[in-house]
Structures are given as structure tokens and as C-alpha cells.
A and B are shown apart, each in its own frame.
Chain A
Amino acid sequence: MQASRAPGVAFIFKKALISALVALVLFSLMIGVRTEPGPQGLLIYETRFGELAAMVATVFGGSIVVELLRQWWGPVGTVRVVPPQVTSALAVAGRWVAPVLLVFTFLVPVIFYNERYILDLGILVLTYVMLGWGLNVVVGLAGLLDLGYVAFYAVGAYSYALLATNFGLSFWVCLPLAGILAAFWGVLLGFPVLRLRGDYLAIVTLAFGEIIRLVIINWQSLTGGPNGVTGIPRPTMFGIPLSPGDDGLAALLGIEFSPTHRIVFLFYLILALALLTNWVTIRLRRLPIGRAWEALREDEVACRALGINTTTTKLTAFATGAMFGGFAGAFFATRQGFISPESFTFQESALVLAIVVLGGMGSQLGVALAALAMIGGFELFRGLDQYRMLVFGMAMVLLMIWRPRGLIGHRAPTVFLERNQAISSDLVKEGHG
């Protein structure tokens, strides 16, 4: 065991040399040579062998460090049975992390009342927590890889924006409508992809996301095209506007108006929506439909043999995930007051999917932690300017080496007789699409 864990100095050096060689080939043109337009418009070039050597040396050293770190952390990619103590300790910690986080989240607007930046960031994080939880139904539970989740976010946002600006419907009427419309589009996406699995499913969902965005850009008469929709009504507290006027909430309560009131209201609104998503998902997991989703992820053929209608099971997963995406979209529209197709690019889908994968597919707490790390952590590195992406990417790579199945990879059973014990991630399938 010890021998296989420590492959020896020769192995590490060989690996580092190969990495350095690849770096040399890659960087020799990218960094080693620099071209510039000369004074007569001709291209002149200068060589930067010093920087090239530094980069190659960094890769060489970094490869050794990574290899040593991997040995320190233990084997990766091999089957490792989680010791019961670790599992139970994690379970105990897990029981406390969630309530503490929840209480803290409730208190954020109280603690940081005067810090607009933190409140805005909190709203952003919670939006992604909600999107992550919504996508978790499709990817984490049902095991259907969806790369076009942003389409439902867009449908929700545009549903609210257009219904509110054209028909003057209030936010609370539009919210369920946005969810229903997004769910409808989820079913529409579901039908053609029922027979697809894995990579093929991913490609079609990716295309679906792009189609929705392109339709929004080009259907100018309805959506305003690239100019987007402006003047989307701000949310009201069940009819009472949060404005400085005489009929506003501040005037009614007899307190001085402050723009922060609206931010705090938005914070609690998205918190309530996210918690609703969480509650529904937890309930659904314990209902036959949720178990059928997870069974579908584990083995589709066995599901059919047990009389489970895989078609409707997949469609309900798509529809449920899409509905939560639609809610989040409606919230996004009312918060921004302005939406345009630029907000619904593939990058958003990728970000939400990264949150789900990083958090641990199927784990509610893991997804919330991952959203906090991805959105909040990204802001933490703001001081690093242009190196922000680099540091962030490295952090993600390290995290995936350390925990290949996400922050919380193990699965909690939905029903138990005696012992509520977590199931090791080695046994849980990821689904084939």
C-alpha cells in the first residue's frame, strides 16, 4: 500500500519533465516570441527567453508540488471506503453547518445593514444558490446533464418583464406564471432529448439554451432584441411599493425612507424563494417521484423493468428544474429593472453547472456552499485584478483533485429503518444523461 502511494522520486521527476516539455512547446510561441508593429508598419519581433524559462520552471516546480500534495492527500481516483468515523463526523458537522448558515443568512441584512455592497453580493449568491438547487433536480437527482439551464432563467425573466410591462400584472401574479411558462419550456426541451444520453444530451441542451437566446435577440417586436426590456416594475410588498412617495412602505410605517429597504426586501424575497426550492426538493426526494429520479440516475433499464414510466419521470425532472429556474429569472428581472439577452449567455449555464458539480451532485448543502464559494469567493479575489481568473481556476482544479465528487459527495438515504447513514460517493452513480 505504502509503495503504491509513494511512486518515488524518479516517477515525480519524469512527470515534471513531461509537463515542462509540454509547457515549453506551448509557451515557446505564446510567450517566447512577441510581435509588434514596427515604426514603418512592419512586424518586428523580440524574443523573451527569460520569461519563457521562468514559465517552464514554474510548471516543472508546480508539477512536483502537485504530485507531492496528491501523495500527502492520499490516493485519488482509487476506490476508497470512507471510514465510518469520518462519515459520522461529517454527518454531525453537516447537521450543524446547515442551521448555522441559515441563521447567519437570516441575520445578514441586520448585521450588514449599512453595507450595500455585501447586501448586493448576498442577493447575487442567493440567486445562484437557487439556480443551483433548481439545476440539482435535473443533474444531481435525475442524472440528466443539462448545459442549457440558462434558457429557463431567460424564459422566467422575459415572462415577468413582458407580462409586467405590457399588461401591468404585478410581480406576485407573474411569479407563478413565469414558473409555469419555464416548466412548459422544460417539457418542450424534454421531449426531443428523451432518447439521448450523455454527450448527445449535453449538446442538444446546449443548443436549446442558445436557441432561446437567439430567438430573444431576433424577435425584436416582442422582446426588444439586443436592447432588452427596460422599465420593469420593481417588486412591491404585496401591493405596497417600496418608494419614497406618500403611499410607500416607509411613509405607511412612519419611518424615514431609505433605498436600503428595497435591497433588504429583495434579499429576503430571494431567500424565501431559495428556501422554497430547497423545501420542495427535499420533499420530492422522499416522494415516489424523487426516488424514481434517483433510480433513473442509477439504472434506467431496471426502472423500466419495475414499471416506472421513464418518459414522464424525465419530463417531470426537466419541468421541475425549469420551474425553479423560471422563478429565479422573474426575481432577476424585478431586481435589475432591465434585462437583455446578454445576461443569458452560455457562461451562466456553465457557472450554474459548475456550482452543482463542485457542490456534489444531489447534495443541497453542497450546492449552497459551492454557490457561496464560486460567487462569493470570486469577489474575494477582486483585489488580484487580472490574476483573479487564474487564482480562481487553480482553486477549482485543486478542489476537484481533493474531492473529485464535489464538496459533499456522499448521498443521504431518503428513507431508513434503523440507521440514517450516508452512502459513499463511490457507489452513487452520476447518470448517463
Chain B
Amino acid sequence: MSVDPILFVDHLSMRFGGIVAVNDLSFGAERRQITALIGPNGAGKTTVFNCITGFYKPTSGSMRLKHDDGHKIQLEQLNDFRISKQAKVARTFQNIRLFPGMTALENLMVAQHNALMRASGLTFLGLIGAPSWRVAEKKAIDLARTWLERIDLLDRADDAAGNLPYGDQRRLEIARAMCTEPALLCLDEPAAGLNARESASLSELLLSIRAEQGTSILLIEHDMSVVMEISDHVVVMDYGVKIAEGTPQHVRDDPKVIAAYLGADEEEAIAVMESGT
């Protein structure tokens, strides 16, 4: 099924002491597509995310990222900030992690840290105010301005991020991740706590990111309306293992998935479905 996956997770396992959070999980995320990782609470979705983004070191297995130019990176060998810096994987968090005491604009400027560090000649050129640095800074502000416009927050650019409404903070966090110019964007429950209208605008934003930036997106989501609407491919997890995979329609009709979500036995779920049709 995988034609040209940007991310291929191969037999990934993660154990915390005696608890197996992720057990022998394999899946791929297609290039320039939106892949959704769903499952009931405690299925191990966020653990997979933390492994991919370098916050956890997996117990076993490998994760291979293949950039557009064919350059391959084994994510499990990179740690911490290098995942974002070298592998170009950006992420957002389930509980929003903005810099609350910094303005929306500053948040987007911090995201361009590595590019700006190079432009400022590791601070020294910037300190003397070299023209090349001024140009780079202006370009960074313009990029931030573009993203603020796209998430409809341009008029609040100079407000502290902590003062923004919840929905705006969610979108700002996505914009901040995009300012690192990632190849793969990992979103941990981006629609959590949003109302129907905000979810719809979030779906629109994600689709436009895929269309315009060509960024591949991997997301964890509980809001099925978002998942069904925008995903190209869905991976379903339960108890740390993959129980189904395929298009949204295919997954929705899978008895195993229904059983996992309803907490019922597989046979019961099939019975329910058959009585329904």
C-alpha cells in the first residue's frame, strides 16, 4: 500500500517498566497526505508521537524518515531538539505549550531560531547589526506575518500568547510549528476543546497546509468529524497495537474498530452492525 511514505514506523515497541505502551507497531505516513492516528484513551497514540518526535527513546523498532530529496534519517538515532532541527519534524502538544509571556509574533520568531541563528552569524553579526542580519530578520518577520494572517490572528500579533482565546492558541501553536518549515507536522489532538465552528476552520487550515506547503501531516485526534473529513489514511490503535488501517470509510466500518471504541466484544459489535444494516 505504501507508495512513497515520508515516515515509516517499523516494529516500534515502547515499554515503561512492565507496561507495554506500544507493542510492535508498524505503519507508514504518505508524503503530502494527512495520516490520522486514532484509538481510545490509553491506546498509546501519544507515546508513538513522543517516540517519533524524540521525547522518548523507543525500546525497540525503527522509524525512518525520507525527505523529498531522497535523504533518509533514522529518527530513533536522533534525540531531542535534533528531530526538529535536522529531521524537520515539528509537533504540537495535547495541552498547549506556547510561550505565554511572549507575544504571538515572538512565538513565531522563536520557532525560526535555527534559521535566524545562522543568519545572525551565531549572534556576532547580529550584535554589530550587519545588513545581512537585518534582511534575514525582516524576512523572518514577514514569514511570521504570513502565518498570522493565515490563522486570522494578524490583529492580535502584539498580544501575549497567554491572553489569546483557547482556539486561537491552538491555531497559533500549529502556525509556530509550521514556522520551523517542517517536512512532517505532528499534531497531538489539535481539535481538542474546540467548538464545531473552530474545528471546521482547523480542518480548512490543515487542508490548506497540505495543499500549499506540501507538508505531510500526522495527527492524533478524537474528534471523528475532523478525522473523517480531512484524513487520507487512518491508523487505529488499541492497547498499543494496530487494529486497523485504511481509508476513513474503510476504518469506520471495521468491526474491530467499533468494538474498540464501544468497549464491546468483537462478536457483539458484529451483531450490532448486522442488526443495523
Residues of A within 8 A of B (CB): 280, 283-284, 287-289, 291-292, 294-295, 298-299, 301-310, 316, 411, 413-421, 423-424, 427-429
A305 and B97 contact, CB distance less than 8 A = yes
Q: Which residue of A lies closest to B141 (CB)?
A: A415
Closest approach, in angstroms, between the C-beta of A277 and any C-beta of chain B? 13
A307 and B109 form a contact (CB under 8 A): no
**Which of B53, B127, B177 has its CB near the most chain A CB atoms (within 10 A)?**
B127
How far is A54 from B141 in the complex, measured between Cα atoms in Å? 64
B111 within 8 A of A: yes
Interface centre among A291, A292, A306 (most CB of B within 10 A): A306
Query: Contact check: which of A283, A288, A308, A413 meets B158 at CB < 8 Å?
Result: A413
Task: Find out whether the CB atom of A307 lies under 8 angstroms from the CB atom of B113.
Answer: yes
B160 within 8 A of A: yes
Contact assessment for A280 and B127 in the assembled complex, using a CB-CB cutoff below 8 Å? yes
**Residue of B with least CB distance to A290:** B123
A413 touches B103 (CB 8 A): yes
Residues 135-174 of B, flagged 1 when their CB comes within 8 A of A and 0 if not, give 0000001000100000000100111101100000000000
Please state if B176 and A306 are interface contacts (CB–CB under 8 Å): yes
Give A417 to B120 CA distance when docked, in angstroms: 21
* Bitwise interface map of B from 94 to 108 toward A, beta carbon under 8 Å scored 1, else 0: 000111111101100
Give, as a whole number of angstroms, the nearest-CB distance from A153 to chain B. 24
Q: How far is the CB of B139 from chain A (nearest CB, A)?
A: 13
Complex Cα spacing A157 to B158, Å = 43
C-beta contact mask, B44-87 vs A, less than 8 Å → 1, else 0?
00000000011100000000000000000000000011111100
List B contacts of A415 (CB < 8 A): 103, 105-106, 109, 141
- B interface list, Cβ under 8 A from A: 53-55, 80-85, 90-91, 93, 97-103, 105-106, 109-114, 116-117, 120, 123, 126-127, 141, 145, 154, 157-160, 162-163, 176-177, 180
Q: Are A288 and B116 in contact (CB under 8 A)?
A: yes
Q: Return the chain B residue nearest A424 by Cβ.
A: B160
B98 lies within 8 A of A299 (CB): yes
Judging by beta carbons under 8 Å apart, are B81 and A302 in contact? Answer: no
Complex Cα distance A147/B116, Å? 32
- Among A299, A419, A420, the most chain B Cβ lie within 10 Å of the Cβ of A299
Whether A427 and B162, one on each chain, are in contact in the complex, defined by CB atoms closer than 8 angstroms, is yes
Q: Do residues B157 and A417 form an inter-chain contact, with CB atoms below 8 A?
A: yes
Are A419 and B80 closer than 8 Å at their CB atoms? Answer: no
* Interchain nearest-CB distance for A302 vs B (Å): 4
Query: What CA separation (Å) do A288 and B144 show in the bound complex?
Result: 14
Q: Is the CB of A289 within 8 A of B84?
A: no
Q: What's the Cα separation between A298 and B107 when bound, in Å?
A: 11
User: Which residue on A lies nearest to B80, using beta carbons?
Assistant: A304
The 9 closest A-B pairs by CB, nearest first: A307-B84, A428-B101, A307-B85, A298-B99, A288-B116, A427-B162, A302-B97, A287-B126, A295-B110
Q: Which residues of B contact A291 (CB under 8 A)?
A: 102, 106, 109-110, 113
Instruction: Name the distance in Å between B2's Cβ and chain A's nearest Cβ.
Output: 27
- Complexed CA–CA distance, A427 and B103 (Å): 10
B55, B99, B127, B180: which contacts A295 (Cβ < 8 A)? Answer: B99
* Residue pair A417, B123 in contact (C-beta under 8 Å): no
Across-interface contacts of B126 in A (CB, < 8 A): 283, 287-288
Measured CA separation A411–B93 after assembly (Å):
25
Let me know if A306 and B110 touch, CB within 8 A. yes
CA distance A304 to B113 in the complex (A): 11
Interchain nearest-CB distance for A297 vs B (Å):
8
Tell me the complex Cα distance, A295–B159, Å.
16
* Alpha-carbon distance A310/B91, docked complex (angstroms): 17
Given contacts A294-B102, A307-B180, contact A287 B123 (CB under 8 A): yes
B53 and A289 contacting across the interface, CB-CB below 8 Å:
no
CA distance A291 to B105 in the complex (A): 12
Question: CB-nearest residue of chain B relative to A428?
Answer: B101
Q: Given A289-B120, A302-B99, 9 other A-B contacts at CB below 8 A?
A: A288-B112, A291-B110, A292-B113, A305-B93, A306-B81, A307-B85, A411-B101, A416-B103, A417-B158
List A contacts of B145 (CB < 8 A).
417
